[in-house]
Structure 1
Amino acid sequence: MRAPAWLPLPVRRILRVVRRYWRVLVRRFAVWSSPARRAWRRSLQLRVVALTLVASSLLVGAFGWFIAERSANILLSRTQDEVQISMRNKVAYAEQQLSVHPTARDPRLPTTFTTIVSQLADGDPAESGGSVLSMRAGQYADLLPVNLPNNVDTEQLVTPELIRRVSDDGKVARQIVTARVNGHTTKYLATGSPVPTSFGHVELYYLVPLTTEDSAAAQIRATVLATGLALVIMLGVIAGLVTRLVVTPVRVAARTAQRLSAGLLDQRMKVDGEDDLALLAASFNQMAANLQRQIVRLEELSRLQRRFTSDVSHELRTPLTTVRMAADLIFAERDEFDPAVARSAELLQAELDRFESLLTDLLEISRFDAGFAALDAEHTDLVPIVERVADRLSGLAERVGVTIELRLPDTPVIAEIDPRRVERVLRNLVGNAVEHGEARPVQITLASDDAAVAVTVRDHGIGLKPGEERLVFNRFWRADPSRARQTGGTGLGLSISAEDARLHGGWLEAWGAPGEGAQFRLTLPVRSGDRLLAAPLPLIPRDREPVLSPASGETAEPKAEVV
């Protein structure tokens, strides 16, 4: 996001620098946290333990805070009750001692004040934790001597707020204050009370240190914290152990499933006990046994099918050769026969050609299934191959009213390929395009780059329905079996072409849309054995019109299948 133009130039520069450093920090944080995020995504046990620790920490923390605060309040309340009782006794004693003085000008009054303070003081206030007693005579303050033991200054302990509440309201008031007395910072509970006298207003202030209560509250907090921490750790350990009991069989099942998918069909899980996990292991083993039986059975059926196809194909070669020799002889002499017999000879020759093509395809498929297909690669120019394929299919194209358009580069396109197999692939692709072209032009485009060569065959016929681009390479599959065919196809051409492309380490891809035709793309590496990363030509034609979805009216992109 760019800085607004109305900001001053220095501000914009600062913002650009900040954004640059921020992006660097974000990238570094992403790199640094990548192992943790990967572990979080992959480990169920880690997520369960982490969530347990977070939830238990919040719960124990809230409960511990409540316990600690409640304990501190109870200690303070108990101290306040004790101070209130003691304060009541001290006020009664001070009132009794001052009642013998009828006026404020009694010369014995200062001595009485000193005696009261000395008698009511609890312990030595100079020591940390000692209570402090103070008296205040209001307008008779000049009559009070230095009335506290050890000259403790109570100015910071007896606050103006507390004096106002006691002197103005005439009620008992208390306040918690923290002050530094004799070099120690101590928290005090300051309580003030008016003392009734016959000559005026006298106030008594009793300050009790809360050192013991604070120490007890701190110990309670420490105990609660330690207990809570131990409880959280214990819950985490328990969660880890419990999760491990559940996750370990799941991990074993996952590893066993991976081994099964890799072909190790004899892998089984260990069954311990009679609980749900044992039931899971037993069910998994039963499933694996059933899968093993089915896979072995299917492999045996597939092997028998391949063997049957190969044997039948080879066994039919000998009678086909004999029938071919006789048919060729009859076909050569057909002009001397009656018209009906001559026509029969022509039909016999055509059907023998179709049968021989089917037999050749079956033999080729059996070689692929048996793993005997080999690539005879050599450096070859693809331009003559494309021209030769177009020339051989020109007669069929003229019969169906299709024009074959070649878009070939002016320079040779050299690649390390098997010319026979590539020519067979292109012959199948162009033959299908001509057959399904609906009397519209078929374009053949050849292009190359440093790493790959690509040939696209584009027709403008009926096209492919959604999902059919995944089926066109299946054996014996046809888009519309009811259509009249101009060629005696076997339904194996595209399947063999796909195997030829795989043998080269290349791609054979299909695209189609209803009413817009189809396009097939063959992509091969320039050097045999190289890995393909991209194709020089697009799979979806550039002249393709967008397809509108009838339900939403939005543009729908047809799918393509990569083989």
Structure 2
Amino acid sequence: MNGGRVRGLPGLFRWTTSLRLRLVAVFALVALTAAVAVSGIAYWLNRDAVLTRAQNSTLNDFRDSLQRDAASLPAEPTCLSLNTAADRIGGPDTYQVVLIDTTPDNQPCAAASDRDVFTVDDVPRSLQRAVNTVHKDGDYHLHWERISLQGHPYLVAGARIKGDGPTGYMLKSLDAERKDLNSLAWSLGIATLLALIGAALLAQAAGSAVLRPVRRLGEAAQRLGEGHLDTRLKVSGTDELAEMSRTFNNAAEALESRVEELSARESASRRFVADMSHELRTPLTAITAVTDVLEDEAEALDPMIAPAVRLVVSETRRLNELVETLMEVTRFDAGTAKLRVDEVDVADMIYACMDARAWVDSVELDAPRGVLATLDPRRLDVIMANLIGNALKHGGSPVRVALRREGSQIVIAVSDHGPGIPEDVLPHVFDRFFKADASRARSEGSGLGLSIALENAHIHGGDITAGNSPEGGAVFTLRLPVRPSEGDGADEYDAAGGPAGEAI
């Protein structure tokens, strides 16, 4: 259950950040705001009109009835006459009435058209005070309020007849008007919902029309990034989206032209390096033969000449190694480097590499026997020679080589106790011709050793990483599969392989 929820989060995140969803949300929000505002204004205008019409009609009728029926009462009416007048003025189909006055025997009388519905106790105190207030013109005015009794809306009004006439109060139910207003509110709510749905559909249609070219542009950009430089967009129209597509096509065309130009230059450079390496091998073969003879006769030469002879021999060997390295690089660049694999004991291979270069006494080896792997022995020798040679040359003693197996991989760590690799150098240690000390351009190394080691690891399907140990010193970690995959060119022999006897 938890795993399903976690897997669903990326999809939910994409939806919440989708431009289409945001466009629909904006359209819906604008439509909702407009619909609510219009519906609210329409409701309040209709509410005011309905209540005002019902209120004015009722108040005018109550005023006329009060003047017609209550004003005809005697100066000191009896309760019976007040009840008769209240029955004439009020009724169940119109409104209920209460008439208040003092009888001839000075007793207050409150005559109601229906005491079960309306009594003087239902009249708000504030309305009673307003009705009994004499205004500046010496008259009593008609006053009214809207109240709620037991959850139902009512209009209550009151007025006093001039002089010592009775005071009348009226109660009118507004349930019918409330039902009409509720129906109006429901109608406006449904209209708002329909407007919201329409806005969402309109936003969906507009989003599809707008985002379809954007989606095509994204897909084209992805294909372009995958290397399909001939990708182009169909341009139609003259709007901003068409202009964007036209700009993309121009950029793709310029990129394709530039990549073709760079590819041609790179191919020419590779051919130049390969041709030069092959051309140098013939004279180097002759020079090497001569230097071998000179080296054999070095002891018999004049002491003044012997140092020069040894220098020539050393530089000739270095030049020969450099040419072989360049040829190896061209094979990697051309994709023609192949593996000649065999099942070997990795510990024996590492010891043989160290023994051939007289490094056994300089390196601590922690490599248990019996760790078997199918790999190219020559290329493993090249990798280890470069990693161990680099640690001896640039690191600090002791240099340690540790071998272990992790699942389907073998891991070989070469560490030293030197100053380590500067942080700004770490990203470039495997770059070709890179040297940490740029002032030492004329150093023994060519700057290709670690690059060649990494390429040899890659052709096995492995990798090499560089870092610094917490205890100090650099650590290079080689990871190789126990058995290379079929795509790595296993069991094919690279006849033009470089020398295995020296570090590159």
The TM-score with structure 1 as length reference comes to 0.74
Aligned to 1:472: 429
Do residues 307 (structure 1) and 261 (structure 2) align?
Answer: no
**Letter paired with 1:37:** F
Aligned to 1:452: 409
Is the contact made by 2:76 and 2:102 (CA closer than 8 Å) also made in structure 1?
A: no
Is the contact made by 2:160 and 2:166 (CA closer than 8 Å) also made in structure 1?
A: yes
**Letter paired with 1:522:** L
**Letter paired with 1:480:** D
Change (3 A) 1:484 1:61: closer
Higher relative contact order (CA 8 A, sep 6+): 2
1:448, distance to aligned residue in structure 2 (A): 2.2
Aligned to 2:449: 493
Q: What does residue range 21-170 of structure 1 map to in structure 2 within 5 Å?
A: 35-41=11-17, 43-99=18-74, 102=76, 104=78, 110=80, 112-113=81-82, 115-121=84-90, 125=92, 130-137=93-100, 148=113, 154-158=115-119, 160-162=121-123, 164-165=125-126, 170=131
Q: SS at 2:47's partner residue?
A: helix
Is the contact made by 1:170 and 1:194 (CA closer than 8 Å) also made in structure 2?
A: yes
Aligned to 2:285: 321
Change (3 A) 1:143 1:473: closer
1:248, distance to aligned residue in structure 2 (A): 2.6
**Letter paired with 1:132:** Y
1:38, distance to aligned residue in structure 2 (A): 2.8
1:291, distance to aligned residue in structure 2 (A): 0.5
**Letter paired with 2:98:** M
Alignment deviations for residues 239-276 of structure 1 (CA, whole Å, 9 cap, x no partner): 33444444333222211111111221111112222332
1:418, distance to aligned residue in structure 2 (A): 1.9
**Letter paired with 2:85:** I
**Letter paired with 1:119:** R
Change (3 A) 1:260 1:58: same
Pick which of 294-303 and 381-390 moved more.
381-390
Is the contact made by 1:87 and 1:206 (CA closer than 8 Å) also made in structure 2?
A: yes
Is the contact made by 1:435 and 1:485 (CA closer than 8 Å) also made in structure 2?
A: no
Unaligned stretches of 5+ in structure 2? 133-142, 488-504
Is the contact made by 1:95 and 1:196 (CA closer than 8 Å) also made in structure 2?
A: no
Is the contact made by 2:457 and 2:464 (CA closer than 8 Å) also made in structure 1?
A: yes
Is the contact made by 1:404 and 1:444 (CA closer than 8 Å) also made in structure 2?
A: no
Count residues with an aligned counterpart.
Answer: 474
Is the contact made by 1:166 and 1:203 (CA closer than 8 Å) also made in structure 2?
A: no
Aligned to 2:502: none
Q: What does residue range 325-344 of structure 1 map to in structure 2 within 5 Å?
A: 325-344=289-308
Match of 2:329 among 345, 355, 365: 365
Do residues 174 (structure 1) and 169 (structure 2) align?
Answer: no
**Letter paired with 2:238:** E
Aligned to 1:230: 194
Aligned to 1:541: none
Q: What does residue range 291-302 of structure 1 map to in structure 2 within 5 Å?
A: 291-302=255-266
Is the contact made by 1:437 and 1:461 (CA closer than 8 Å) also made in structure 2?
A: yes
Aligned to 1:387: 351
Unaligned stretches of 5+ in structure 1? 1-23, 180-184, 398-402, 532-563
Aligned to 2:135: none
Change (3 A) 1:165 1:480: closer
- Percent identity over the alignment is 29
Alignment deviations for residues 73-97 of structure 1 (CA, whole Å, 9 cap, x no partner): 3422333333332222222123322
Change (3 A) 1:310 1:103: closer
Q: Distance in 2 between matches of 1:492 and 1:31?
A: 45
**Letter paired with 1:102:** E
Do residues 524 (structure 1) and 480 (structure 2) align?
Answer: yes
Q: Distance in 2 between matches of 1:348 and 1:226?
A: 99
Change (3 A) 1:37 1:203: farther
Is the contact made by 1:463 and 1:515 (CA closer than 8 Å) also made in structure 2?
A: no
Is the contact made by 2:348 and 2:369 (CA closer than 8 Å) also made in structure 1?
A: no
Change (3 A) 1:231 1:337: same
Aligned to 1:190: 156
Pick which of 510-519 and 476-485 moved more.
510-519
Q: SS at 2:466's partner residue?
A: strand
Is the contact made by 1:133 and 1:206 (CA closer than 8 Å) also made in structure 2?
A: yes
Is the contact made by 2:457 and 2:478 (CA closer than 8 Å) also made in structure 1?
A: yes
Change (3 A) 1:506 1:96: same
Aligned to 1:12: none
Q: Distance in 2 between matches of 1:33 and 1:210?
A: 54
Do residues 257 (structure 1) and 221 (structure 2) align?
Answer: yes
Do residues 434 (structure 1) and 392 (structure 2) align?
Answer: yes
Q: SS at 2:123's partner residue?
A: helix
Q: SS at 2:340's partner residue?
A: coil
The alignment's C-alpha RMSD in Å is 3.5
Is the contact made by 2:148 and 2:154 (CA closer than 8 Å) also made in structure 1?
A: yes
1:493, distance to aligned residue in structure 2 (A): 1.0
Q: Distance in 2 between matches of 1:306 and 1:313?
A: 10
Q: What does residue range 388-407 of structure 1 map to in structure 2 within 5 Å?
A: 388-394=352-358, 404-407=362-365
Alignment deviations for residues 394-439 of structure 1 (CA, whole Å, 9 cap, x no partner): 46x9xxxxx734241444322222222112111101111111125x
Q: Distance in 2 between matches of 1:289 and 1:225?
A: 55
Change (3 A) 1:296 1:233: same
Do residues 422 (structure 1) and 396 (structure 2) align?
Answer: no
**Letter paired with 2:463:** W
Change (3 A) 1:139 1:29: farther
**Letter paired with 2:402:** T
Aligned to 1:503: 459
1:280, distance to aligned residue in structure 2 (A): 1.6
1:238, distance to aligned residue in structure 2 (A): 3.8
The TM-score with structure 2 as length reference comes to 0.82
1:502, distance to aligned residue in structure 2 (A): 1.0
Is the contact made by 1:136 and 1:203 (CA closer than 8 Å) also made in structure 2?
A: yes
Change (3 A) 1:138 1:389: farther
1:464, distance to aligned residue in structure 2 (A): 2.5
Q: SS at 1:77's partner residue?
A: helix
Change (3 A) 1:316 1:94: same
Alignment deviations for residues 475-503 of structure 1 (CA, whole Å, 9 cap, x no partner): 111111434977x3222111111111111
Aligned to 1:542: none
**Letter paired with 2:406:** D
1:358, distance to aligned residue in structure 2 (A): 0.9
Q: Distance in 1 between matches of 2:9 and 2:285?
A: 72
Change (3 A) 1:34 1:162: farther
Change (3 A) 1:392 1:315: same
Do residues 443 (structure 1) and 412 (structure 2) align?
Answer: no
Q: Distance in 2 between matches of 1:188 and 1:33?
A: 55
Is the contact made by 1:404 and 1:442 (CA closer than 8 Å) also made in structure 2?
A: yes
Change (3 A) 1:52 1:376: same
1:319, distance to aligned residue in structure 2 (A): 2.5
Alignment deviations for residues 296-352 of structure 1 (CA, whole Å, 9 cap, x no partner): 111111122222222222232223222222332333233333234443332222122
Is the contact made by 2:102 and 2:109 (CA closer than 8 Å) also made in structure 1?
A: no
